Every structure is written in structure tokens, then in C-alpha cells.
Amino acid sequence: MSEIKLTINNKEITARSGQTILEIAALNGIEIPTLCHDERVEIFGSCGLCTVEINPHGGVSPRLFRACATVASDGMVVNTETERVRRNRTNALELLLSEHRGDCKPPCTLACPAETECQGYVNLIAEGKEKEAYDLIMEKIPLPSSIGRVCPHPCEDACRRELVEEPIAIAALKQFAGDRHAAEAISDGGNVYEPELNTGKKIAVIGGGPGGLSAAYFLRLKGHGVTVFDSMPYMGGMLRYGIPEYRLPKELLQKEIDVIKSTGVEMRNNTRIGSDITLGELREKYDAVIVAVGAWTSSSIRCEGEDLNGVLGGIDFLRESPDIRGKTVAVVGGGNTAMDACRTAVRLGADTVYNIYRRTRNEMPAEEIEITEAEEEGVVFKNLTNPIKIIGDAQNNVKSIHLQIMELGEPDASGRRAPVAVHGKEETLDVDIVISAIGQKLNPAGFEELNLTKWGTIAADTLTFATDLKGVFAIGDAVNDGAGIAVTAIGQAKKAAEAINIYLDEKCSKCSLPRNPYLVKDEKTAEDFKGEEKYLRVKMPHRSPEERRGDFKEINFGFSEEQAKREASRCLKCGCRQAMGGDISAFGVNTDCKLLNYANQYDVKPDKYNGLVHKRGVNTDIPNVNQNPEKCVLCGLCIRLCEEEVGAGVLGFVGRGYDTKVKAAGDLTPCENCGKCAEVCPTGALVKIRN
Amino acid sequence: MRVTVGLGSCGIAAGADKVFNLLNKELEDFTPCGASAVTGCIGMCYLEPIVNIDDDVYVKVDEEGAYELVKLLKGQKNNALSYKASAQDIELLASQTRIALKNCGVINPESIDEYVLKDGYKAAEKCLKNMNFEQVIEEIKTSGLAGRGGAGFPTWFKWNAARNSVGSEEKYIICNADEGDPGAFMDRAILEGDPHAVLEGMLIAAFAIGANEGIIYVRAEYPLAIIRLEKAISQARQKGFLGKNIFGSDFNFDIRIKAGAGAFVCGEETALIASLEGGRGMPRLKPPFPAQKGFKGKPTNINNVETFANVPWIIRNGGEAFAAIGTENSKGTKVFALTGKIAKGGLVEVPMGWTIKDVVFGVGGGIQNNKSFKAVQMGGPSGGCIPAVLENVTIDYKSLAETGAIMGSGGMVVMDDTTCMVDMARFFLDFTCKESCGKCTHCRVGNRRLLEILERICGGGGKDNDIELLEELSEEIKAGSLCALGQTAPNPVLTTLKYFKNEYEDHILNKKCTAHSCKPLLTYRIIPEKCTGCTLCARKCPANAITGTVKTPHVIDSEKCVKCGDCVKLCKFDAIVTT
């Protein structure tokens, strides 16, 4: 073999004669995409992704060639990244994606603000791999026990099992995995989750709630020094001070905080920004700051008498748990905080607890189970009422609340039917305490340097969560849309942590601006699952209303191992196994699915080629392999490897043109059950069945 | 006296076999003729069935005509003028330059003796006895013969490459008879009309490259060609033209037939080889070229039927004589299959350098029903259309390529003003989509999407940026496909876009098909002045879209109309028009 010299991307390269451009590029660290090439088999050249521009003899008019099949010659001038090359590759990807049918990510993950790998951990639980399940959750949610208990689980709303009978109890399964492993994580001897090598960078996290703690955890694992500052005596934020004990035992929360702490996160309580330390000081001492202070100021009822003694904010009430034995309480609001307040009031010994809500039960934003359980515990729901006035006695103590009777009018912008006053119909309730649980706001004291939105929240970029102040990021209830759910804050923590990694990495000069990843999504209807056997959702065992209303002990017992397995095995496994094993974030996609990875490296717009997409369904024609022809890119690797490497030759192409597909032979005797066909598949078209 | 009946597939389809049987029966005991003989297609398909009595040509001979001819032969009649070919038709035939088709329709293809009488196998004998392989290749080089299958690659170059390919003594000659273009039947006519010319051409090529085995890859849809080839091979073996020590030399060569399943893509060399080897007809990457690594990995030369049919003539008459015909860059003749809206459809062989007009309005006799000439699609689905304004373009590889079309294998589909060019592109793309082997992304999915866009446009769903999308996608498909099928599939789209963009715009923007061909874009209307109120259309309309009372003009409700077009055909008063 003689030596040749050629130029690739203006770089002179020495190679051996007989080598292809693809081989030479790989040896020189130049990445050329390909879906159909594998060193073990003969060159095929079908996918059309490895095109490069070549001036065959240094001429002026370059042409496109397939790098996998073009043998380099002396003096060749090759360009692998010209606009023409990228256009042709993008086009090939768009065409492949236009016939690609499936779900890269399952609907549960897509619905989760933290993009939790629900399908992944649910199935690990089904397989009895609880620790693996726990580890997988920890990648996105470092507080599984707590979030499993408090999350209103948008994942379950999106679950396709609903199209069969009922969604999977995803949150309860998260709780299960968390409960069984948070304790173990600590007792195992400290740092179970080993941070990467110390970067020498220091980050301050303001606020020790779910968002702040999660951000601290993610950043610490990247090797940064992280300190969490919190104004309260204990960490946990709203999880500790806003969620009642009967829903989330604080002992469990503390265990999870300890897991985070065990990675080396420093935690400083009783430190308030503005009075104890200023944002400016933190910015000076630390390389980056995350503001995750939450929304701790209850919105006022805005009616006459709101300043009377005995009018309390919902979260203030939950945090302080005052003595209200024998008193009559009215809780205003229909959300989860309102329910928490109602049920806490019951447990604190209130005589009667009213819930005041201006719409009907159907419109209540609180979770259905919370409303039902509140009813069971004796809360009196006064739907379609709205406070007009709170009346006090001579000592300015609350005496009664005057209500306007409402009815539902036309739907408003949010789609909910707007409450309208019924003229002349009013009602008065004798009450001692009025709790306002109609929303929370940020207390901006100490953060005057930050720009606020017109809603009084901190303005942050919706993808990176950077504020207008250099090096300061803000997440959670305190930013943009304001108070939301804990898992949203955790999702933002992950994104902000990734943005900070890029921000702190001086070498990362070409780290591109993040954009939302391209993912293939499918639409399914009940029709698609009509053959599916029905298995009802496993009911969560819980304490009776009579028993539980007297104390703050946790209501739910959690799943047993058997229940958890049974529930988890109901999963329909909507997401693509190939795409799930890896990382998909706004900052890049790196999965086992080469097609998805490339799709995100090129700016694909496959919609312009919307056309016929085959509906072929999954089969198990190949032993121990699930074949989904709807995801096949016809690279032929499975066929060729089976024939050339394994020598079995049980796979082949059938059909012509657009109807071509890969099919197993009728006689599978030569099949060695080696699964190499699935291993070599660049997409999720062939997937080994896990044992 | 010699009586022959044209019994090519085209003649048989027109009923020539009945005429042949009838003549045989009637003339069996009639000494001057004995019986009628078989011959191949002379090319005047529009005149089939054709009977020759010595030099007289009788056309469109039906059963009645056959009896007339019997009477004529037996002296019971003086003439059969009503069946005699017109002087014009005979003149048009004579105006051609016939090399590849020299014997077609003239000799009995099932008789090697008739071929030999026409100097058959003389060329092979000359090569084997008096020439070495270099001289043979040199002669072909002098002739300027280029591959007639479509690509137009110099034949001598391929032969030379296969001859010089080192590393193996075992070499192969393959005749590509997998003619697949819709509307093309040049190869079939040669195989059916003069199979020995192909065998002789292969024999000469085998001698030139040093191959001892030849294979004819012929599509199974050509049963008559296969039968005649089988007969020809068997006769050639008997005569010693195939087999061992041919013409007393130490050269051995034999030929076998492989019937292909009729996949268009198997016309591509590497796919053809894969199919011959028992694999799926799927093209592979080149290089290595078949001349280096072909059938069974051995050096292989593949030529098309028409190319081989030219070879004996060249050897007999010399390369110079062949090169004297044609133009600077394209030598010899080309056989064309004229189809579509042409008045005199059939096979013609004309010298390179004629113009499109010479073919269409000369040997082709112009457009049917005196409609106006709109365009001609050349080169089948891989080719492109040439508009009437370019009718003076000469037929040679270079000039045709400059128009965006290609010479192709010889299909010429002639179109008049009732042909919608968008629909025409759609038709050819539909064909290539079905015939794609499915390997390359751009061909498999890209052409499918291209077709879907065209279908949408023809169906009235064209969108504003569809033209740009068609152009962009076409360009990527051409660049991204491995074999010629994919690379050329967008050509009908690109050439119609080039010459008939206005038709695309009419479809997309105005939802109009000016050729009145795309039904979803048509509106049916009754001209009140012409309507007699006969009620026929109203009674037959499947959608009950036509209303009116007897003897008063009827009206079509365009909302209800399903655009089936039945009413137009039914109306005896031409009162229903489309707009």
C-alpha cells in the first residue's frame, strides 16, 4: 500500500491508497454521518448521508460523492461540511423522517416538565430492578419520594394506557422507588452519586426548595462547588413548609435532602438575601448564582375586612399550624393549597371547615383525589360562592364572611366558564378564621437588581433561565409565569444547570445556542389499542377518613413490591427504546438512535414532505427481537450482518420502491438468535426483547 | 413466389397469426408458394397485420383480406388494391437507414439459413479467422458505436476494459435484453425479427474480450423473443457458430438465456448482475465496474440488444462505413419506437443527425387527427420532454442532452395539445416509483414524495411553493441516488418544469388544466344553444348532478358533479364541454 496525500476540509492528510474517504476521515477525527455503513460488512451506500464534495482532480467544479464508497486518490480535494453537502444530507434525513413513524419519547416523558424517563423507570420496576429505576429517576428528579407524593403528575394525564382503561400510576411508582432507595443511598456510605472532577467553579443557589436543591445536585455532580442559601431553619422550601405532613412526611423529605447533601453540596439555613447577605456579594464571591426563592407571599382576597385578625394566608397557615381547635374556618380558593389548608384545618381540630370557591367542583384546579379526600374528611364545600366582605367584631376579630352567590357564564379565555354574580343572592357564614389560598407571589425584597415581568416575577430566558444580570439565573415559582408545580421548578433546574455548565466552560466557545430538540411523535387513538387486554390500575392503599382526620400521619401506605410490579407491567412502552437510552435535552441530543442524533445535528424540517406513511405494526418474526418496520430506514445493516458476518442469511428485502421492507425468512432454522441484527440497527426498528 | 406474414408480437396482437394460419391452410397445396413464411416486425405497427408477396406489401390484412390475397395468388383476382400499402408508406420505409433492423420483417427469424443468406455469421467468421481481438476492438472504435441502451458509452471502451481486466481468465458477455421503458419495444422487435444478429454480435464481442460464456438477460414478458432466441441458439450450435472451436479456431463460446422477472431496475448493469446471480435486483456501487468485477466477480461486458445487432454490420462493412453515417459526435443510426399521438406509430431506424421534426413529421407521419404537436418524451421515464419549439434539435447524444432530455434506449412518446405535461410527469414518476428497488433514501422516499406532490397538483391541491419544492427535491434526488434509475427519475419533472412551467402554475395557482386532462380541475358545462333537452345525460349521470326538463337545455350542478366525464361521451350533440 502506497501513501497518498489529500486535502480534507483544507487540511492536508496522508493516507494509504485504497482507503475510502469515510475511513480516512474517521482516522483523522472528521465526523461524516452514515446510517448504513459498518466496517464488518461490504459497502452498501444506501442511506445517502455520507455525501461529501470532491474535486476529483483539484478541479473547480466539485461534485457530491458517497464517502463510504469513494476510494481516495492522490491530490483529491474533499470537503465534508459545505453548504451543498449539508443540504443534501439534511434532505436525506428529512425524507427518512417523513416516513418514520413512532415516538422517540413516550407521551409521559414529553408531558413531564422535568422530562423524567417515566417509561424507563416504570419498566425497570416491572422487571424488579428498583435500584436502576431509582438511579434513572435521580437523573432528572433528585427528590423521588417527595415528588412522587406531591406531584399532580401531568405524565399520567398523557399516559396512553388511558386509551385502554386507566393511566399508569407513574407518580406512585416514583414514590415506591424513592422510598426504597433514598435511605439506602445514604447508608451505603455517603457519596453514592459521585461528582465529576472538581472544576474549581463556585455556584450559589438561593433557595432550598425543590428547584434550588435540584439545581444544586445537578451542578455538584458536574464537579462545581455549590452552596445553597435558605432563609428558613430547614431545607425543603415549600415541600417542607407548604405541603402538610400527612401528604409528605418531613422525615422522608429530609432523607432525600441528605442524599443531595451527601454529594458535597453545602447548605446554609437562616440566611436571607438582603439582610444577611446581598445578591451583589454572592455575585462577587461565586461564579454563578441561581435564584430559586419561590413564591411565598399569599395573594390577598381583596375584599373588605381582609386585614382583620384571623385572616391568614394559605401557606402562612400551613407553615405556622396555629391552634384553631373548636373554631370555624373558611378556606377561600380551589387549588391544591386550598385543599391542603382545609384538610390541615380539620386535623388541627377545627370545628367546621368551609371551602369557598366561585366556580363548581368541575372547575377546581386542585387534584381530584385531594377534593375527594377533603370531602371524605368532612370539609363543607361552598361552591359558586365568592367573598364580598369579611365582617369583624369589636376586637377586629373575624366574625363572619359575607358571600356572593355565583353561577357559571360563558367560557373565558382559559376555556373555563367564568363565574357570574347572581344578582341579589348573598349568604353569610359565621366563621372565626378566613384562609386565603388563592395564589402566591414572589417577595422581591433583596432582588431589586433583577428585572421583573409585568406579573411581578423575575424575568428569565425560557430555555436557559438566564436573567438580565450576567451570571445570574432564576428558576421556579419566582420566575416568568410564577407559581407552578414542584416538578416544573426541577425541570428548570436541570436546564439552568446545563446552561450554567456551558456558561462556565471557557473552552466551550462553539457551544451553540440551545434549541428544542427535534423528536418524532405519533398520534394514537383508542382504536390503536383495541386488541390490548384490560388490566385495572392498582389502587393505592390508604387510611380511612375516620382514622386519618385525627392526626398528621401519612394517608397513603405506598405500593408493596408486588403491587408496584403489577402496576408497572401495565406500561404500553410507547417510547422508542433506541431513543431513550441517552440524553435528549434542549442543549443537544445524544442517544443510541443515530437517526435522531443526526436529525438534531441538521436543521431538519420533514413536514414539507408529509405523505404516505406505512402503518405496519410491530412483529416478532425474528426470534427475541421486536421488529418495528415503521421505524426502519432500510440501511440493510441487519440483512448484511446476518448474511456476511453471522452467515445465517435469514433476513432480506421484500417489495419494491416505497413498499420495500425488511423481512425474516419463513424458515428460521439458520438463525443463531444472536441478536446482532438488533445491535446493529441504527434506529429502533429492531430491538432485542429484554429477558 | 414468397409469401411472408409479419409475426412479431405487435403483428400477432393485431391478428397476424390468424392471417398466417389461414394463408397456410389455403396455400398448403399451392405449389408456387408452398405456404406462407414467418417474418418479424418491419416496424410499421400502424399497418399490422402485414403480408408480403415478393416485393408487394399488403397491410391491415384481416380475414377478408387474407382470402383476397389467396384469390390474388391463385390468379382468381388481378389485384388486392384495397390492402396494398400506399406509396407514401413504402417511401417512408425506404427513407430509413436500416442497420440494426436490416433483416427485421425481411427474413424468417426462425431460419438460420435465411440469416446466413443475408451474409449472416460472415462477420464472426471474419473476426475469428482473419482478425485478432485488438483489430476487432479497433474496428468498433473506428465505427464510433456507442451503447444503444441509453447511456451512450463508447462500446469499444467497455470491450477494451473487459479485455484488459487482469486477474481472471474467466470472462462473461451479457446481452441486456431487459427492455423496460414504457412505450419502448426496439429490442423486442430485434430479438423477434433477427435473433441471429444479436447472437453474432455477442460472439464477436466474446472473441474481442476473451469470454467463453454469454448470457442473454431477457425479460420473461417477452415469451416470443425467448422462443426465437432459443431456436436461434440451437440452430447456431448445430451449425457450429456456437460451441467449441468455432470456425475451426480454438475459440469456444456458448450462450444461454436467463429470463428476468421484468424489474425495470434490472436494466441497470449491476442490478442485472445481482439478479443473474440469484440475488435481489438491486444496484451496487461502481467502481468496481462490471468490466473489472462483474458476473460472479469476473470481468463482464454488458451491451444492449441493439448495440450487438449493429456489430456484425460494422465488421462486414468496416467501422469507417458506420462512422460515415450520423454526426460528428454520434455515429450510425438509432432505432426509435414511436408511440403516443403519432400518426404512424411503430419502429423506425434513422441516421443520427436527423431532427425531431424529421422523425415526427417525416417517418412518423405527423400527429394523429391533425392535432398540434406539443412535445416528445425521449428516453422513457429517465428521459425528458422536448417541446415542439425545439423540433429542429438534431438527434445526437450531445444535442439531446442539452435540452435536458436524453437519447435513451429509443422510446419516443409523442404528445399533442390534449396531453397535460404535469400529468405526463406524474405518469412517468409513478412508473419509476413502482420500479425503484428501494435501496437509496433519495430514490425510494424522494421520488415517492415527488410523485405525491405531482398527484396533489393534478388533483387540485397544489400549493404556492410546490414548484420550488419540486425543483429542490429533484436536485437532491439526482445527487443522492446511487444508480441511473434514481438519478434520472426527476428528469420528466425537471424538463416539464423547464418548458411548461406555465402549466404547473395554471394547475397550482388557477386550478386549471389547460389540456383538459386532469379531471379534478375540470368544470363540466352544458352549452344551452346546443342542448336539445334529450335528457340522456341527466338519466345517466351517476351523481344526479344534471337537471332539466324534456326539450329544454339542461344544467350541471358543479357542486354535485363527480367529474366522471360520462356525460361528455354520451351527448350526441357535443353540448357538454369542459372548462
Helix (H) or strand (E) holding B302: strand B300-304
- Asked if A652's CB is within 8 angstroms of B448's CB, the reply is no
Contacts with B285 from chain A: Cβ below 8 Å: 43-45, 66, 69
B112-322: CATH, from 3.40.50.11540, 3.40.50.1100, 3.40.225.10, 3.40.50.300:
3.40.50.11540
Phi and psi at residue A532, to the nearest 5° = -75, 135
CA B427 to chain A, closest CA, distance in angstroms equals 15
- Asked if A657's CB is within 8 angstroms of B445's CB, the reply is no
- Asked if B435's CB is within 8 angstroms of A609's CB, the reply is no
Contacts with A633 from chain B: Cβ below 8 Å: 441
Instruction: Note the helical H segments in A32-117.
Output: 83-98, 107-111
Nearest to A657 among B433, B480, B481 (CB): B433
Helix (H) or strand (E) holding A680: helix A676-680
CATH of domain B523-578: 3.30.70.20
A3-81 carries CATH number 3.30.1600.10: no
Q: How far is CA A109 from CA A162, A211, A480, A515, A630, in A?
A: 15, 19, 23, 18, 21
pLDDT computed for residue A513 by the predictor: 57
| Dist CA B335 CA B407 (whole Å) | 11
pLDDT at A189 over 70: no
Contact A32, A22 (CB under 8 A): yes
Q: How many Cα atoms sit within 13 Å of B330 on the Cβ side?
A: 22
Mean pLDDT of A482-498: 93
- Asked if A51's CB is within 8 angstroms of B280's CB, the reply is no
Ranges of chain B whose pLDDT falls below 70: 32-34
A194-292+454-505 carries CATH number 3.40.50.2030: no
Contact A32, A102 (CB under 8 A): no
* Residue B445 contacts A, CB cutoff 8 Å: yes
pLDDT computed for residue A191 by the predictor: 47
Q: How far is CA A440 from CA A206, A300, A407, A413, in A?
A: 18, 9, 26, 21
- Asked if A47's CB is within 8 angstroms of B476's CB, the reply is no
pLDDT computed for residue A546 by the predictor: 86
Quote helix, strand, coil % in chain A, to nearest 5: 30, 20, 45
Contact B332, B144 (CB under 8 A): yes
What is the grid cell recorded at A578?
A: 433506541
- Asked if A656's CB is within 8 angstroms of B437's CB, the reply is yes
- Asked if A92's CB is within 8 angstroms of B479's CB, the reply is no
List, in sequence order, every beta strand (DSSP E) within B511-551: 524-526, 546-547
What DSSP designation does B47 have?
G
Nearest to A656 among B285, B438, B446 (CB): B438
- Asked if A95's CB is within 8 angstroms of B449's CB, the reply is yes
- Asked if A634's CB is within 8 angstroms of B437's CB, the reply is no
Give the N- to C-terminal CA distance of chain A in Å, as an integer: 47
Contacts with A636 from chain B: Cβ below 8 Å: 439
Radius of gyration in angstroms for the set of CA atoms belonging to chain A, rounded to a whole number: 30
| Dist CA A463 CA A491 (whole Å) | 11
B333-416: CATH, from 3.10.20.600, 2.40.170.20, 3.40.720.10, 3.40.50.720:
3.10.20.600
| Dist CA A2 CA A16 (whole Å) | 6
Architecture of domain A614-688: 2-Layer Sandwich (3.30)
The complex's ipTM works out to 0.88
- Largest alpha-carbon pair distance within chain A? 105
| Dist CA A297 CA A318 (whole Å) | 13
Mean pLDDT of A621-645: 94
What is the grid cell recorded at B370?
A: 391533425
Closest-CA residue to A556 (of A569, A540, A571)? A540
CA dihedral B301, B302, B304, B307 (to 10 degrees): -10
Q: How many Cα atoms sit within 13 Å of B129 on the Cβ side?
A: 9
* Residue B279 contacts A, CB cutoff 8 Å: no
| Dist CA A69 CA A49 (whole Å) | 12
pLDDT computed for residue A425 by the predictor: 92
| Dist CA A353 CA A378 (whole Å) | 8
Q: Is the N-terminal amide bond of B195 cis, ω within 30° of 0?
A: no
Residues 446-465 in B contacting A (C-alpha not used; CB under 8 Å) = 446-449, 452
**Summary mean pLDDT of chain B:** 93
| A508 SS3 class | coil
B421-509 carries CATH number 1.20.1440.230: yes
Q: Where are the domains of chain B?
A: 3-94, 112-322, 333-416, 421-509, 523-578
Instruction: Note the helical H segments in B384-514.
Output: 397-403, 421-435, 441, 447-458, 466-480, 484-488, 491-499, 501-509
Domains A3-81 and A298-440 share a fold: no
Single-letter code of the amino acid located at A202? K
CATH of domain B3-94: 3.40.30.10
Mean pLDDT of A163-175: 96
| Dist CA A398 CA A569 (whole Å) | 53
> Looking at chain A, which residue has its C-alpha nearest residue B432?
A657
Closest-CA residue to B348 (of B128, B77, B105)? B105
What is the grid cell recorded at B5?
A: 406474414
Contacts with B482 from chain A: Cβ below 8 Å: 45-46, 66
Contact B58, B325 (CB under 8 A): no
Interacting residues of A173 by C-beta distance below 8 A, sequence separation 6+: A121, A122, A125, A133, A148, A559, A564, A567, A568
Nearest to B452 among A64, A611, A636 (CB): A611
pLDDT computed for residue A265 by the predictor: 94
Tell me the count of A-B CB pairs closer than 8 A: 97
CA A94 to chain B, closest CA, distance in angstroms equals 9
A298-440: CATH, from 3.40.50.460, 3.50.50.60, 2.60.120.260, 3.40.47.10:
3.50.50.60
* Residue B261 contacts A, CB cutoff 8 Å: no
Residues B244-262 as b/e (b if ≥16 CB within 10 A, e otherwise) read eebbeeebebbbebbbbeb
CA B200 to chain A, closest CA, distance in angstroms equals 35
What is the grid cell recorded at B406?
A: 436524453
Q: Is the N-terminal amide bond of B287 cis, ω within 30° of 0?
A: yes
Nearest to B469 among A66, A92, A608 (CB): A608
What is the grid cell recorded at A659?
A: 413498499
Single-letter code of the amino acid located at B474? S
Class of residue A525 by CB neighbours under 10 A (exposed 0-12, middle 13-18, buried 19+): exposed
- Asked if A48's CB is within 8 angstroms of B480's CB, the reply is yes
| Dist CA A424 CA A427 (whole Å) | 10
CA A489 to chain B, closest CA, distance in angstroms equals 43
Global pTM exceeds 0.90 = no
- Asked if B438's CB is within 8 angstroms of A634's CB, the reply is yes
- Asked if B436's CB is within 8 angstroms of A92's CB, the reply is no
| Dist CA A489 CA A444 (whole Å) | 18
CA A172 to chain B, closest CA, distance in angstroms equals 44
pLDDT computed for residue A267 by the predictor: 96
What DSSP designation does A258 have?
H
- Asked if B482's CB is within 8 angstroms of A633's CB, the reply is no
Q: Where are the domains of chain A?
A: 3-81, 194-292+454-505, 298-440, 614-688
| Dist CA A32 CA A19 (whole Å) | 15
- Asked if B445's CB is within 8 angstroms of A96's CB, the reply is yes
Mean pLDDT of A214-237: 95
Interacting residues of B152 by C-beta distance below 8 A, sequence separation 6+: B146, B330, B397, B407
